[in-house]
Structure 1
Amino acid sequence: MKFLGLSKLKKALQILASLALGIGILYWLFTKENLDWASFRTEMTTINWFWIILGILNLQLSWLYRAIRWQMQIEAIDRRYALRDLWAASIAGVAINYLIPRSGELLKCAWVGKKTGSSTPRLIGTVVTERAIDVLCLLLIVCIGFFLEYDVLISFLLEEAKVPYWLLYLGLFGGLLGLASLFVIKNLARSQGGVFAKAWGLVMALWEGILSVKNLKRPFLFIALTLLIWSSYVLMQYLVFFAYPPASNFGFEVALIVFIFSSFGIVVPTPGGIGSFQFFAQTALVIYGMASASALFFANIMFWPFVISNIVFGTIGFLILSNTPDQSNASKPIEVQ
């Protein structure tokens, strides 16, 4: 009982530390740019909310695409579940992430398992596969963005960020070393076993998860949905440019780079990327010539309306789940079309 109490306390402290980090970054950014609430309100009058709403619609469609894709994955190992319940669990999980970082994926699997009587670990397996594919997609987008905007990014790193050449080469060497380490781990797993075998087993599990797409009934639809999801993210970024005059002339390639930088901000363990998103998005916008204070303002416009929309739809999803009867104690599986 005492251990359980300490575990809850530790979790609560982690959440508070994560929130404090996000708020701290945000406070530092606003202080650095001397951007007060009066200035923020003045800038708000320049926003064309039509484009923000279009961006929000695009984001919410991406969650629907994700739910359809998840439905296909689950159907391949179990049975077909109602899309409504899968969407509700997915968007509710997104909303929960703002309160408890990185918890949404586990909770959505637990919710669906409870409502359908399915095995939660098996559902978690589908999410792990989904995340492995997402990492692959993000890496591909990063490579495309770097290829398209190589000159701009290198110029910024060397002239503005003052990153020395040797550090860039070190980063490239580190990436190549990371790839080479896979072969080393593979050989050590065969010869030494132990922790190397476990590490290689994890790598292979992720790779097999990605390859499992070919076992789906409609693999090409799965791939098409994946392309739709990631295209929606970049398109969302492009659409919101039209909402703010200083960004309205930016092209699609700029949207791609801002999206990549913003994604790095989401990875930082703050609730929903609070603070870290604004920092990386501001950095990307400044690269393309936007004034630093304007970039910080616009980074917040690209963040808060979308967070609010996720919380609103997440609440709707939670209400749907609350009114869906549990099937965990059912005597036999129930087919849901």
Structure 2
Amino acid sequence: MKKKIFSAVRILLFAAIGGLLFWLVIRNQNLEEIKRKLESANWWWPVLALLFGLISNTFRSLRWNMLIHPMGYSPKLLNTLGSLMVGYMANLAIPRLGEVSRSAMLSNYEKIPMNKVFGTVVVERVIDVLTIFLLLFLILLLEFEKMSSMANTYVFSPMSEKASMLFSQGMLFYVIVIGSFAVVLFVFWFFIVRLRDSKYYLKLKDMLRGFVDGVKTIGRLKNRNLFLLYTGLIWFMYLLMSLVCFYSFPATSSLGWNAALAVMVFGAFGWAAPVQGGFGTFHAIVTQALLLYSISNDDALAYAILNHTTQVFGMLILGLLSLIFLPIYNRKKTAP
């Protein structure tokens, strides 16, 4: 009962954070003007973006299968793709639920141990994080002046102010540092020493064993070049999604590849935030990124809403279709 209450509170908290961020983004905006811009937008470009999204997810499913094959399993592409889309839809409801739900769905339909499937999902996420930081480094090189201005405004200046406040308090700063270190040591002692014989520790140990098996699949890949190609194509499709959505509005139609790369990279951080479907975080960070390209607040927010709505719509539709189709597909597959 307590676990259910905690989960419900956590979901509501994340939703509240997303709602607060979205409110902070729109509170000083001309909502009537943004509504007018969205109504007059060319929505055929988001339709094309949906197609690019489907292609990207297909490449992602092919790449996921490559991680599973070295463990001795050959999942059907439709099962992998459908499980992926259900996972994306689940993330819209509860952050990080998608990784578990898509692993469970593929495990059920392909009879692969859950911990092994989840291990490959974690590996895939690690690869995505590495790719994002590589692309972040690229956009910093391409748009150094714009990005350094953004970093100074939203990162370094606030951090400098906070650090100055802490150091000015003298003893308080050292108390915080020592206290944080003590908390880390206590958590380590509690989970490693006290819980090592509990069923939760054994379950975690089993999951880690499956994760290690998933990590080892990278070293056993038969075609690493193909794996890298799939990774590149996944992110190129994401880039095209950001680019074609620019053409929906006159104000953003002249933006090019660099701006699309900035939106894609910073938007990915918005999606990664622990709120339902990146709601609020995506809008805030993409709006700020477009301001660097001399786009007005209203136009930047209108673009962020259109881009985010397009992706959420695609996740919902494909996720629901997968929930309906996969049981039918697998029933026919196992029928005599």
TM-score normalised per structure 2: 0.79
Q: Secondary structure at the match of 1:32?
A: coil
Q: For residues 291 and 12 of structure 1, what CA distance do their matches in structure 2 show? A: 38
| Residue 9 of structure 1 pairs with residue 14 of structure 2 | no
Q: Which amino acid is 1:14 matched to?
A: R
Is the contact made by 2:119 and 2:215 (CA closer than 8 Å) also made in structure 1? no
Please say if 1:79 is aligned against 2:73: yes
Aligned residue-pair number: 293
Cα deviation per residue 1:186-227 (whole Å; 9 max; x = unaligned)?
A: xxxxxxxx97xxxxxxxxx99996674342222211111011
In the TM superposition, residue 149 of structure 1 has moved relative to its aligned partner by: 0.6
Q: 1:314 aligns with which of 311, 316, 319?
A: 319
Match of 1:130 in 2: 124
Decide whether the 8 Å contact of 1:46 with 1:245 is kept in 2. Answer: no
Q: Hey, what's the Cα distance between the residues in 1 that align with 2:214 and 2:74?
A: 19
Determine which of 9, 25, 32 is the counterpart of 2:28.
32
Q: For the Cα contact (< 8 Å) 1:85–1:320, is it kept in 2?
A: no
Deviation at 1:11, TM superposition (A): 0.7
- Counterparts of 1:1-337 in structure 2, within 5 Å, are 5-35=1-31, 38-158=32-152, 163-164=156-157, 167=160, 212-325=217-330
Quote how far apart the aligned CAs of 1:135 are: 1.0
Q: Gaps spanning 5+ residues in structure 2: where?
A: 164-190, 193-209
8 Å contact from structure 2 (residues 92, 276) kept in 1: yes
Note the C-alpha offset of 1:88.
0.6
In structure 1, C-alpha distance between the alignment counterparts of 2:85 and 2:96, rounded to whole Å: 14
8 Å CA contact 2:33, 2:298 repeated in 1:
no
Could you give the per-residue CA deviations for residues 220-264 of structure 1, whole angstroms, max 9, x where no partner exists?
111110110111111211111111111111110111112122122
SS of 1:136's equivalent?
A: helix
Asked whether the 8 Å contact 2:117–2:214 carries over to 1, the reply is: no
Aligned pair in 2 of structure 1 residues 246, 124: CA closer, same or farther (>3 Å)?
A: same
Counterpart Cα distance in 2 of 1:128 and 1:305: 26
User: CA separation of 1:255/1:264 partners in 2, compared to 1, >3 Å: closer, same or farther?
Assistant: same
Cα distance, 1:211–1:322 mapped onto 2, change above 3 Å:
closer
Report SS of the residue matched to 1:323.
helix
Cα distance between partner residues in 1 of 2:230 and 2:149: 35
Amino acid corresponding to residue 251 of structure 1 in structure 2: G
Amino acid at match of 2:266: F
- Provide Cα deviations, 1:105-163, integer angstroms capped at 9, x if missing partner: 111111111122210001111111111111111110010010111112223444x6595
Matched to 1:13, the amino acid is: V
* Distance in 2 between residues matched to 1:72 and 1:307, nearest whole Å: 27
SS at match of 1:90: helix
Q: Once the two structures are aligned, what percentage of the paired residues are identical?
A: 27
Q: Following the alignment from structure 1 to structure 2, what is the Cα–Cα distance between the partners of residues 308 and 272?
A: 11
Following the alignment from structure 1 to structure 2, what is the Cα–Cα distance between the partners of residues 296 and 117?
Answer: 45
